[in-house]
Amino acid sequence: MADGKRVLIVGFGLAGMSAAISLQKAGWEPVIVERAPGRRRGGYFVGFFPEGKKAAKALGVFDKFHFRTPKGTETWDIRPNGDRLWSPGFLDQPADEEQGGIEGALRGDLEEGLWQVAKDICTVRFNTVPCAIDERGDVVNVRLRDIANGAETTESFNLVIGADGVRSTVRDIVFGPREKFIKPVNSMICAFEMDAPIPTLEARDGIMICEVDRALWVFPLSDKPPTVLLTWRVDDDDSQFTRRPIDVVREVYGDSPHKRMLGAIFDQLERKGEGEYLYDSVNKVQMDRWHKGRVVMLGDAAWCLTLYSGMGATSAMKGAVELADAIAASPGDILRALRDWEAGMRPFIRKHRIITMMKAEVFVPSSRLRSRLRHQLMRMGTRSLLKRRRNEACSIMSSEAA
């Protein structure tokens, strides 16, 4: 191991590749292993926040991201009687003066940008999972299994990063059964890219149909058909996996008055193959500590805030950059670096965990009272957005006049 700086990163997603790039810049030799047989393509809609932009610039990948933020888009909150109310959309949240507003992309767009850098600086092994992790002093011995042929090998590293998602294998091995850390939200999601625009909807526009316990969101993109998010609340997550996803969502939304729009969406979902849509329960991950010895959890594996937060991509990249910074700041003392990193990241995650509780009610209200409160909140947001757009228009006019 070159200079005692060999790191195993389990998980080939946004957190894993961001960790590989940031640690390689700090002088480490990264090796990524991934359960899947290859890279994922496409994916669901992702909002990329200012903190994520800052991290991407530090990684040197920001200019490699293909953003699909639509211009001139409007979002409509559709009421049960069919009335359409102009409303702030997901990307209309207030901008950061330094980093700008939120960008829209597909998850695969961000992974592609990271890959353009990661492929030249680290080793990536697909079809590979850890099956044992044994720390001895400043070395972590990891037994790796090739899923394709069952072959196992043991390799030594100086740091192991579990960036393998909500149902993390690294966390299972080192910290204990996943039931200790995964907290169900009693909700389901089904997200996918449309192949064609939705009838009755302008291609550039988005919609929200948010009823008690179920919702439909359509996120427009600048150069592709929109993406769809179906989300609904349930009493029993397991019951949602006993049938085909399309059969479940047709039943959940079967009595909706918006049959034409939903029919077009369901017809496209019916034609999707496995891997072309995301269908899953919504879960939080809560851990009292994110590191144990020289093994550290990162991204959703450590703190999943749920899709409702919109902060998954941003927090993954921010966490990876700050992890590398903390390690660089404490050369020769990896344990102190991990403690410092965790102490620095926790307030950010704690804040967004609280905010996510409110965001979940915006996405899919859980009662009639909260639905009414959501409606009032969206009306306030509409007034704020209108005021902001007027101020922006006045600023542009003033600049042109000058």
Model confidence at 398, pLDDT cuts 50, 70, 90, reads low
Model confidence at 203, pLDDT cuts 50, 70, 90, reads confident
In a domain, 81, yes or no: no
- Give the percent of the chain with pLDDT over 90: 76
Average pLDDT, the chain: 92
Q: How many domains does the chain have?
A: 2
Range of the domain at 190: 185-282
The structure's pTM equals 0.92
Residue 296 pLDDT: 98
Clarify whether residues 174 and 152 are in a common domain.
yes
Residue 384 pLDDT > 80, yes or no?
no
What are 295-306's pLDDT values in tens digits? 999 999 999 999
Residue 71 pLDDT: 87
In a domain, 397, yes or no: no
Please give, one letter per residue, the 3-state secondary structure of the chain.
CHHHCEEEEECCCHHHHHHHHHHHHCCCEEEEECCCCCCCCCCCEEEECHHHHHHHHHHCCHHHCCCCCCCCCCEEEECCCCCEEEECCHHHCCCECCCECCEEEEHHHHHHHHHHHHCCCCEEECCEEEEEEEEECCEEEEEEEECCCCCEEEEEECEEEECCCCCCHHHHHHCCCHHHCEEEEEEEEEEEECCCCCCCCCCCCEEEEEECCEEEEEECCCCCCCEEEEEEECCCHHHHHCCCHHHHHHHHCCCCCCHHHHHHHHHHHHCCCCCCEEEEEEEEECCCCCEECCEEECCHHHHCCCHHHCCHHHHHHHHHHHHHHHHHHCCCCHHHHHHHHHHHHHHHHHHHHHHHHHHHHHHCCCCHHHHHHHHHHHHHHHHHHHHHHHHHHHHHHHHHHC
Residue 1 pLDDT > 50, yes or no?
no
Model confidence at 96, pLDDT cuts 50, 70, 90, reads low
Clarify whether residues 132 and 213 are in a common domain.
no
Clarify whether residues 141 and 44 are in a common domain.
yes
What are 334-361's pLDDT values in tens digits? 999 999 999 999 999 999 999 999 999 9
